[in-house]
Chain A
Amino acid sequence: MSLWSIAVVLGVLFGVLTLAAALIWVERRLLALWQDRYGPNRVGPFGVLQVAADMIKIFTKQDWIPPFADKPVFVIAPAIIVVTVLLAFAVVPFAPGIVVEDLNIGILFFLGMSSLGVYSIILGGWASNNKYALLGSLRASAQMLSYEVFMGLSLMGVVVLAGSFRLSDIVEAQRGLWFAIPQLPGLILFMIAGSAESRRIPFDLPESESELVAGYHVEYSGMKFGMFFVGEYLGLILISSMITTLFLGGWLGPVLPPLAWFFIKTFALIAFFVLVRASLPRPRFDQVMSWGWKTMLPLALLNIAATGAAVLWRQGGQ
């Protein structure tokens, strides 16, 4: 393993974690912006040190393990989500050459890792030995399973167009036209599915503080709770960077260096997800499920069929 690749691994790891932490501040500021407020503005200039303050707080908080919890599982659960999401970053091509491992089955690896994330939620809720936590984790597993299905399917159009599962190939395939144009339905489906996968409003039913107190992490405190939190933000970054890679041409762009383009696009997407959070209410659980299975899944299948037909028609045309 070369020094470069070690630098990339460390760079990705720290970069992504720092971003996740910074998102705490970014999200709160953005939410405030759209709600005519200021958000955190007391700690440091514009409140940027709020992140540091929150870190200090969360690390020094009492780390309580309920006596009735299944202790080993309870401890491991929050780690799983962070690990799986971080692993998924391994295949994201930030710029030419800046990728941990440019797997030829990059998309499948990403889908696999994001599916594993659900274990964290289920185990955490189960180990908490709390009815709200269990209900939350049940919801999480049902929701994530359902949305995983068309998440994968919605990407198949991109694969068909690019003719490869390797992410750098897919980026390169967008030199002429971003897949966002031909694959607009796929983009929308993937955005919705990704939002659901990272359990963000409006898909935060596993937490839903109004009826489940805090859902699967109701018994968690201190840094264990922080891990779930970080996992959610990492998921948000991951989905945003995947959309950038798959639909918005990745690092491609004029004038600016490739890495800058990648981050600009990713940030725009993150901001959009925050905007969605600021705008939309949480649907009922049965609505989420029926939407997933009865609307999104058929649309995803239709998208594949149409894309396939178009590709075949174009090939046939030659």
Chain B
Amino acid sequence: MWSIVKTIWTVFLHAFQKRITVQYPEEGFNLPPRYRGRIILSRDPDGGERCVACYLCAVACPVDCIALQATQDETGRRYPEFFRINFSRCIFCGYCEEACPTYAIQLTPDFHMSEYNRRNLVYEKDDLLINGPGKYPGYSFWQISGVKIGGKDKGEAEREARPTDLQSLLP
């Protein structure tokens, strides 16, 4: 009985405490960098598209809201011909970011995405691609992969030996 009265009193005292609500549109605030908001596609340190169109984000997506088509340039570098995220379906679970082997797809702390028209929530590659490496500044998938692309020949990736000389019989 006494505890009930005490509870009521304690709650009553809250009338004189500072309110913790942030008045969102008027007041700004900072979210932690690993917050799972709007999805972006990032770029390599050298400015090339990071996405190699491997489809892993699409298959990891539990609501199937990512669709893309792979293509490659004349040097053999893979990239998405189109890359579409239907944010009206997205649940911001971050599985796509976890699945991404190249750090291309990243979730950002931006969530200001309300729209009156659902169609405006369909983001194409142009809407997704940013001009920087996002959360992972130094990483470049192509410097680790063994595939030859423009500007990186066989054997020039990290921890790669020079291409084998097939004519050599030396041990």
The answer to whether A binds B is yes
Give Cα distance in the complex from A279 to B17, angstroms.
16
Contact in complex: B11, A38 (CB < 8 Å): no
What distance in Å separates the Cβ of B18 from its nearest Cβ neighbour in chain A?
7
| B166, CB-defined interface residue at 8 Å | no
B11 — nearest CB in chain A belongs to which residue? A279
Residues of B whose CB lies within 8 Å of any CB of A are 4, 7-8, 10-12, 14-15, 17-21, 23
Number of A-B contacts (CB under 8 A): 34
Provide the residues of chain A in CB contact with B12, threshold 8 Å. 34, 275, 279
Contact in complex: B7, A34 (CB < 8 Å): no
Contact in complex: A36, B17 (CB < 8 Å): yes
Q: Which 5 A-B pairs have the closest CB atoms?
A: A279-B11, A279-B8, A279-B7, A34-B14, A38-B21
Give Cα distance in the complex from A101 to B156, angstroms.
98
Contact in complex: A278, B11 (CB < 8 Å): yes
Residues of A whose CB lies within 8 Å of any CB of B are 32-38, 275-276, 278-280
Contact in complex: A275, B11 (CB < 8 Å): yes
Provide the residues of chain A in CB contact with B17, threshold 8 Å. 36
Which residue, of B10, B20, B21, B23, has the highest number of chain A Cβ atoms within 10 A? B21
Which of B4, B7, B11, B20 is in CB contact (< 8 Å) with A37? B20
Contact in complex: A280, B14 (CB < 8 Å): no
What distance in Å separates the Cβ of B50 from its nearest Cβ neighbour in chain A?
41
At the interface, is chain A mostly helix, strand, loop or mixed? helix
**A33-B14, A36-B18, A38-B21 known, 16 other contacts, Cβ within 8 Å:** A32-B19, A34-B11, A34-B12, A34-B14, A34-B15, A35-B14, A36-B14, A36-B21, A37-B20, A38-B23, A275-B11, A278-B11, A279-B4, A279-B10, A279-B12, A280-B8
What distance in Å separates the Cβ of A225 from its nearest Cβ neighbour in chain B?
28
Give Cα distance in the complex from A33 to B20, angstroms.
11
Contact in complex: B21, A37 (CB < 8 Å): yes
Provide the residues of chain A in CB contact with B10, threshold 8 Å. 279
Which of B8, B19, B23 is in CB contact (< 8 Å) with A36? B19
B25 — nearest CB in chain A belongs to which residue? A42
Provide the residues of chain B in CB contact with A38, threshold 8 Å. 19, 21, 23
What distance in Å separates the Cβ of A34 from its nearest Cβ neighbour in chain B?
5
Contact in complex: B8, A275 (CB < 8 Å): yes
Give Cα distance in the complex from A160 to B15, angstroms.
39
Contact in complex: A280, B20 (CB < 8 Å): no
Contact in complex: B19, A280 (CB < 8 Å): no
Give Cα distance in the complex from A280 to B7, angstroms.
7
Give Cα distance in the complex from A38 to B20, angstroms.
9
Contact in complex: B15, A33 (CB < 8 Å): yes
Give Cα distance in the complex from A275 to B14, angstroms.
11
- Can you give 23 contacting A-B residue pairs, CB < 8 Å? A32-B19, A33-B15, A34-B12, A34-B14, A34-B15, A35-B14, A36-B14, A36-B17, A36-B18, A36-B20, A36-B21, A37-B19, A37-B21, A38-B21, A38-B23, A275-B8, A275-B11, A275-B12, A278-B11, A279-B4, A279-B8, A279-B10, A279-B12
